[in-house]
A = this chain, B = another copy of it.
Amino acid sequence: MKRYIMAPGPVAVDPHVLSVMSEPLIHHRSPQFSKILTEVRKDLKFLYQTNNECLILTSSGTGGMEACVSNLLSPGDKAICVVAGKFGERWSELCQSFGVKNIDINIEWGQAVKPEQVEDALKAHPDAKAVFVQAHETSTGVQHPIKEIGEIVKKRENTVLVVDAISAMGVYDIKTDEWGLDVVVTGSQKSLSLPPGLSIVSVSDKAWEFVKRAKSPKYYFNFLKEKKAVERETTAYTPAVSLIIGLREVLKQFREMGLKRLFDHHKRLSEATKKAVSAMGLNQFPKVPSHAITVIEAPQGINGQDVVKILREDYGITIAGGQAQLKGKIFRISHYGHLCQWDMIIAIAAIEQALNRLGYQVEYGKGVSAAQKYFAQNP
């Protein structure tokens, strides 16, 4: 069966990038690889809109998140966690694992945090050393107001802002330096359109001061060691060489495209899909949706997992269901990865067919035509 992947990671990878990654391996301690690393690090700064160093870790995104907690904080420190979904919970769990006192701002799943909630939490806990938040909460499809949160945190000398932008960086505008985002994490298997295995973390000057003081136990994820390694044009430990070689290709494409076109591309796929959702009489789950993914509520009486299953098993299309408390209630289509308008048309057509099979009547082509119209009007 011909297969398509439109899940929020792993994602479709450009065959050209896959082919570059499948060239014979080169040694990680060689001038050839140092040159690649230096180029990649430069292009990461372009993507991140930052002058901060971007550290490259060999792990999934969760490894990068852990690195933030263990490299910025010490046991007994206090941190504010925005918990509005599964990945917000992860910040909170990470703090607990490292003996950091987590002050959770609990948000109903599907809602975004309000900047004033962060402000209030900081007023109640002025000794909080960090605010942990998602740019985009992948489990609910919600976009948090990190620019506004940046305004609040940057006024405080003793607090850093740590943003999980794993499924947001490269999708829509994130101005790391201008917005005062001290530490920003991403992963290879999201908008960077690569297989999983890399996590990237940018660290601001303000955050480096926290890193120097942090006493949490750590070894493999060590920002100071990685910073020294950057100076020697290498990495602290053997990196995922082939992924970094793939990353160079992707970033080169991004650079040639320019950030505006990159963000417009995702917006276009997202808006068309969202028009189709309305046309099919369906509801989006998030109250503040992002252009990273479209999260659709399963119609009453229909299990979202069945939609996912029919698409995967009968139509060859991988989308994602809900996680944890949202299991069965939603299904999610990604707009990042190596995708274009035709992929969205396919996904929408398949959803129309699956829903009809499951007993929810949609006129064939209803969603598809709404997306087509949007695409035609927004070339």
Taking CB atoms, residues of chain B closer than 8 Å to A10 are 25-28, 238, 241
Whether B28 contacts A3 by the Cβ 8 Å rule is: no
Whether B238 contacts A61 by the Cβ 8 Å rule is: yes
| CA distance in complex: A11, B25 (Å) | 7
Taking CB atoms, residues of chain B closer than 8 Å to A218 are 97
List 16 additional contacts besides A3-B24, A9-B238, A62-B219; criterion CB under 8 Å: A5-B24, A10-B238, A11-B25, A12-B24, A13-B25, A15-B24, A22-B22, A25-B195, A58-B59, A60-B220, A60-B237, A62-B220, A70-B217, A97-B217, A97-B219, A240-B240
Whether A219 contacts B25 by the Cβ 8 Å rule is: no
Whether A241 contacts B196 by the Cβ 8 Å rule is: yes
A66 at the interface (CB under 8 A from B): yes
Within the complex, which residue of B15, B60, B217 is in contact with A98, where a contact is CB–CB below 8 Å?
A: B217
Which residues of A come within 8 Å of B, CB atoms? 3, 5, 7, 9-13, 15, 18-19, 21-30, 58-63, 65-66, 69-70, 75, 93-94, 97-99, 187, 189, 195-197, 216-221, 237-243, 312, 318, 320
| CA distance in complex: A243, B246 (Å) | 14
Within the complex, which residue of B5, B62, B98 is in contact with A27, where a contact is CB–CB below 8 Å?
A: B5
21 contacts between A and B (CB under 8 A): A3-B26, A7-B27, A12-B24, A13-B24, A13-B25, A18-B22, A21-B21, A30-B312, A58-B59, A60-B238, A61-B238, A62-B219, A62-B220, A70-B217, A93-B219, A195-B240, A195-B243, A197-B197, A197-B243, A220-B221, A240-B243
Whether A196 contacts B58 by the Cβ 8 Å rule is: yes
| CA distance in complex: A198, B242 (Å) | 12
